[in-house]
Structures are given as structure tokens and as C-alpha cells.
Amino acid sequence: MASEIPITVCVDAMGGDDAPEVVVEGVKLALGKDEGLQVLLAGQEQVVVPLSGADERVIPLICSEVIEMDEHPAAAVRAKRDSSIVVGCKAVKSGRAQGFFSAGSTGACLAAATLNIGRIRGIRRPALASVIPTPTHPVILCDLGANVDCKPEDLLQFGQMARIYAQIVLGKDLPSVALINNGTEETKGSQLTQETYRLMEGSLPGFVGNAEGGDVFAGAHDVFVTDGFTGNVLLKTLEGSTKGVFRLLRDIIHSSLKTKVAGALLQSELRRLLTTFTADAQGAAPLLGVSSEVFVGHGSSNAEAIANGIDQTVQAVRRGLAAQIAAVATAPTKG
Amino acid sequence: MASEIPITVCVDAMGGDDAPEVVVEGVKLALGKDEGLQVLLAGQEQVVVPLSGADERVIPLICSEVIEMDEHPAAAVRAKRDSSIVVGCKAVKSGRAQGFFSAGSTGACLAAATLNIGRIRGIRRPALASVIPTPTHPVILCDLGANVDCKPEDLLQFGQMARIYAQIVLGKDLPSVALINNGTEETKGSQLTQETYRLMEGSLPGFVGNAEGGDVFAGAHDVFVTDGFTGNVLLKTLEGSTKGVFRLLRDIIHSSLKTKVAGALLQSELRRLLTTFTADAQGAAPLLGVSSEVFVGHGSSNAEAIANGIDQTVQAVRRGLAAQIAAVATAPTKG
């Protein structure tokens, strides 16, 4: 059914810690899973031409430059006009592909997408969102670091965009949206969050008020909105502490014969937990507010994570994520 | 030795979710552990008089009012002049006690301590610090929520004060101090953290640069400095996700006979982990920058946590925490 509508996604062959090898593997996996997928593969000739020769659904998009993870994003995008990220975004703008996926520099993708694909009319600043697994149900956190210094109007738009993304990926008609704050009471907060609270209260459907950092992993609400600085710190803290506890547990299990026996008895359940709470399974984060669907994957993505990221891009294109955001952004009144 | 120098700590009998009962129990525990401790117990007559009758090292400080957890801190402190928090802080100011401990409202303690005990000369704003357990070694996080909107100069002072607290409680001569940021690179950050980085680089001994949220639980450095908004979100996220994973693990262990057997084999190790990573064991957070030692415990403190909090206050008084901060704050040059 849905998988039969043909979609072309431009994939950055050069992005990620283990690029281009894992990207090539990921593209193969993604093509195997979705018959309606075509991949416009952006990267150096020796990478993209062999794969396009082997699979007719891969179209090579040859470019000579690569933006490295540690380069200054905006400067790199300006300087490296023949990089896979810049060329890829331009291909989306020109209509050769409907969406873009990269596991490269998030900052460079943001800069290249904003510059070359453009913002949705009415959107002040694109934001990065991500699906976070929790023990009860997945939740959305936005912004994750695209905008470190924000105004209340920015946060309101992050909430409007993230709730549309939540409707699409969580399948909920009216997702609950909470504002990350240093306390749940209405009177709590920084200048930014107090003003944002007042804005959201009047104009954001599903707004349920403030939430604390611990509410994210508890799955207390569907969408959590925050500035990109706090969102980055929150996400890194959450990932670091969950992984840290799993590591402690592994060390305990490895510590004696008795505990190794216990580990063997728990093996299948622990593996399921680990799979649920590791980054690879989560895939990619959309840049909400860009005129076409752009997704950024973890730099540490393996082939499966790349394939998941490409699939997320395809699903977002099919469900019209950017078009739905555009409809809300240009609406004259309530979001 | 050290425990024989007599110290009087004023304890808020009315502070905490289960006050006054657990506070009374906690005071008894603390007195049993430290022969040099005297407690000035601030609270309602029917609470403080019986205990002072039973133990000559407890001096009653009768006051009629109680500040509740959900009251607006500054307003409550102004309105309730005969509350245990206000009366307790005044007793410290007048010299009847050397330090103050409460498991009540953090905001009210901050307001009452700032107003009635006063700031150390040269300190812009008192800050809340806490010892966070990690798999490798305890670390300090500051500020935890006392100051939600900060300037770079505030963060610099938080770093100066927290490193003195780290010297005392972690026993390290030159603790490493990192700035929480949305990336480790020097160029990363909000306007606030970028300016703070430049300030700290020149004048904060032990400064090692930026750290990400995940570095806290990883124990990557000794002291982590941030504004109170981010610190609160970080701490709540860390506590929420570690407790969440422990809860998942408990559910797994309870799910079948096989996993229950595994749980029994892991019991002692898991109990040790839980003890290390639960709030009760961590005790209290000092208000750094106040002229005397003031510690605030979790509202959910049990009797043992109360006793730990009182003991932390005593130790900080004995080691001259406030005096050491004063020496740095009024120093003409480098902190």
C-alpha cells in the first residue's frame, strides 16, 4: 500500500563516523525494505558510482567535498559548495529528491537546509526534534540543539511543529505538549519559560503546562518543548545515565559465577531493554520548519540506524510533515 | 577528634513531606552519631519541647508558623516571620547556632537565609550545590535551581564556590571544574556559556572547559557548573532516568519464576547499587555564598537522610566552608 508510492530521498553518503561504508550498507538495507524508495546518493565518485551500478534505484550525485563533524557549520557550508550536504540540499530544493537524510554534522545540515531549501513561510527558526524511548511510550523532545538562544515565540513554534510531528510518528490525534521547566507550578521558571507559558496557554492545542526533566523518561506527556541548549543537555543527560546504569548492570553480571548465572537467566529481557533504549534503534531527528523533509542521524549510526533514518524520512515525506507544518505556520490565528 | 568540637546546628523541625516525625527521628539519629552535636530545634511547641525534655543536647526554639512547600518562597518568608525557617535563620545570624538545616522549601530557605543571615561580601548570588553519585566517584553540580536567570559573573562565582565545596567534601586539592554546555568544543554554547567560558578560562583554577550532560553521570570531572534552570533540569533528568531504569529492572525481575531466581542471585549487588544512587543517601545541598552554613534536604527525606543532612551541615561548619568562600570572594584578583 503506502510503500508503493515512489519517493526519492537524497542520502548523504559521506556523513557519519563510519561513512561512507555504513551509509552504503544502510542504503542497501533501506532499499530492500521499501520497494517504492529511490535513493539519490550524494558523495564522492568512487563511493556513489559503484552502488548506482549495482542497483538501478540508486542515482549517483557526485560531489567532491566533505564537511567534517568538527568544522564550524555555517562557515563550512559557505566554503564547501560542492560538499555532499550542500549539494544534497540543493537537489531537494530543485525537486530531484523530496527529502534529505544525513548522519553528518547536525549544524551543517541545519545551515545548508536553511540556506538552500529554505524555511517554511512564517516559521522563525527550524528546530530539531527526536523520538525518545521511555518505559511507557515514545515521546518527542524539541528543540535538541538547533537554537541555543531562544525567544518565547520560538518555543511556541517548536511546540506547534513538534505536536504535528507527534501526530505523525506517535499516531495521536491530540498529543499532550509540556514545557520543560524547573518545576511544574505555573509560577516557576526563567524569564523565557514564564513568558513562553503564557503564550502557549492561549494558543497551543494540547498544552498541559510545565514538566520537569524527570517527566521525559517517565513518559508523562507526549511532547516536551524546550530551547536547544536545555534540550541538548537533557538528551545527553538522559542517554548518559541510562547507558551508565546498563553498564553498571553489565559489570555486576560479569563480576562472579553466581551473577553470570543470573545474567544468563535475564539475557533475553535485558537485550530487549537495551534495544529499546539505545540510540541506534531511535534513528534520526527531523529538522522541523524546513520546507522539505530533512532528517539527521546520529554520527555513530550503524547500517541499521542509517536504514531507519532513511525510512523515517520517507514516512515523513509520505505523510506530508512539512506541508502540515506550513498549513499551521501560515494560519492567521491559533496554532 | 573532630567530632569532639561542640557545634550547634539549628534544625527545622517542620520541614519535609513527613515532618515533624521524621525530622525528630533524624535528629535523634544525628545526636547518636556525633557526641559534639547540639541541636537547636525550631518548630511548634508540641514538637520541640518533648524532644528537648528527653535529650539535654536539644534546645527548643518555639515558633508558631510553618512555610508549606507550595507557597511562594519570598512572599512566605516576608509574611511568616514566626515560621521555623525564618526563626531558624535568625538564630544562626544571632550566633545561637553555627549552621542551619531544613528539609523544607528550598526557595524559602534561600530567601530566608539571604535576608536574615546574609550573603558573603563579594558574592553576587548564593547558589545551591549537590553531591551526585556516579559509578566512578561523587561529583558536584552547582547551581541546582537557586538562580534561574544568570549572568557569566554569577556562573564564575558558582564555579569558585563549588570548587571549595568539592575540596571539602571530595577531599581533592585541585578539583577539575567544567562548564555544562551543548557540546565540548570551545566554540559551542549559548551567549551565556560562551561568555562564561572566556571568564572562567582566565580566572578559575582547575577549569577544564565544557562538558555535556552525559559527562555528569560518567564522572568525567569533579565539579559541573551551570545556571539554576539547566541544573534543575539536568538533576531531575538524571534522577528520573536512573530510577526509571532501576524500576524497569525490578519489573523484569518480578515477571517470571526464572527472572525471580536471577533477581535473588543479584540481590546484594543490586541493593548496593540502589543505595548508591538513591536520593536518601545523598543527603542535603548547601546554599553556597551565605555567610553561615545552610543546608537543604530533599522534601522526601527519611530519618536517615535528615541525619545525613545534619551531619553534612556539621562537617561544613567544622571545615569552615563559608569562611573559605569568603576568603576567595573578597580576594582582590584570581578566584
pLDDT band per the 50, 70, 90 thresholds, residue A321: very high
> CA–CA separation, B220 vs B231, rounded Å?
17
Cis peptide before A20 (omega within 30 of 0): yes
Phi-psi region of A309 (alpha: psi -120 to 50; beta: other; left: phi over 0): alpha
Looking at chain B from residue 57 to 76, which residues have their Cβ under 8 Å from any Cβ of chain A? 70, 72
Contact B149 A241 (CB under 8 A): no
Residue B167: what pLDDT? Answer: 96
What would the mean pLDDT of A243-247 be, rounded to a whole number? 91
pLDDT band per the 50, 70, 90 thresholds, residue A7: very high
Flag the least confident range among A141-150, A182-191, A210-219, B121-130.
A182-191
Q: Greatest CA span in chain A, whole angstroms? A: 67
Phi-psi region of B50 (alpha: psi -120 to 50; beta: other; left: phi over 0): alpha
Which tens digit of pLDDT belongs to each residue from A200-209? 998 999 999 9
Ranges under pLDDT 50 in chain B: 1-3, 333-335
Q: Are B59 and B78 in contact (CB under 8 A)?
A: no
The two beta strands, B127-132 and B139-142, are antiparallel
What would the mean pLDDT of A193-215 be, rounded to a whole number? 96
Which tens digit of pLDDT belongs to each residue from B31-59? 999 999 999 999 999 999 999 999 999 99
Which tens digit of pLDDT belongs to each residue from A21-46? 999 999 999 999 999 999 999 999 99
* Predicted complex ipTM: 0.92
> CA–CA separation, B292 vs A79, rounded Å?
56
What letters, b where the CB count within 10 A reaches 16 and e where it falls short, cover A36-54? Answer: ebbbbbbbbeebbeebbee
B-chain residue closest to A261, CA distance: B262
What would the mean pLDDT of A235-241 be, rounded to a whole number? 94
Contact A134 B244 (CB under 8 A): yes
* Interface residue B239 vs chain A (CB under 8 A): yes
* Interface residue B186 vs chain A (CB under 8 A): no
Which tens digit of pLDDT belongs to each residue from A87-132? 999 999 999 999 999 999 999 999 999 999 999 999 999 999 999 9
Residue B69: what pLDDT? Answer: 87
Residue A69: what pLDDT? Answer: 87
Q: Structure pTM? A: 0.93
A46 strand-pairing partners = none
What's the gap between Cα B321 and its chain centre?
Answer: 13
Alpha helices in chain A (DSSP H): 21-33, 45-54, 73-79, 84-93, 106-116, 152-169, 191-203, 214-217, 228-253, 257-276, 279-282, 303-318, 321-329
* Interface residue A183 vs chain B (CB under 8 A): yes
Q: Which residues contact B165 (CB under 8 A, 6 or more apart)?
A: B129, B140, B142, B286, B288, B316, B321
Q: What is the CA radius of gyration of chain A?
A: 20
B-chain residue closest to A234, CA distance: B234
Testing the interface with A: which of B154, B245, B259 to mutate, by most A Cβ within 10 A?
B245
Q: Give the nearest partner residue to B258 out of A145, A212, A265, using CB atoms.
A: A265
Q: Which residues contact B93 (CB under 8 A, 6 or more apart)?
A: B116, B117, B118, B292
Contact A261 B259 (CB under 8 A): no
Contact B213 A229 (CB under 8 A): no
Which tens digit of pLDDT belongs to each residue from A257-270? 999 999 999 999 99
% of chain A surpassing 90 pLDDT: 87
What single-letter amino acid sits at A95? G
Q: Give the nearest partner residue to B262 out of A180, A185, A265, using CB atoms.
A: A265
- Residue B278: Cβ-neighbour burial (10 angstroms; 0-12, 13-18, 19+): middle
* Of B253, B301, B278, B330, nearest in space to B27 by CA: B301
Testing the interface with A: which of B105, B132, B229, B272 to mutate, by most A Cβ within 10 A?
B229
* Interface residue A133 vs chain B (CB under 8 A): no
pLDDT band per the 50, 70, 90 thresholds, residue A239: very high
| DSSP output for B285-303 | EEEETBSSEEEEE-TT--H
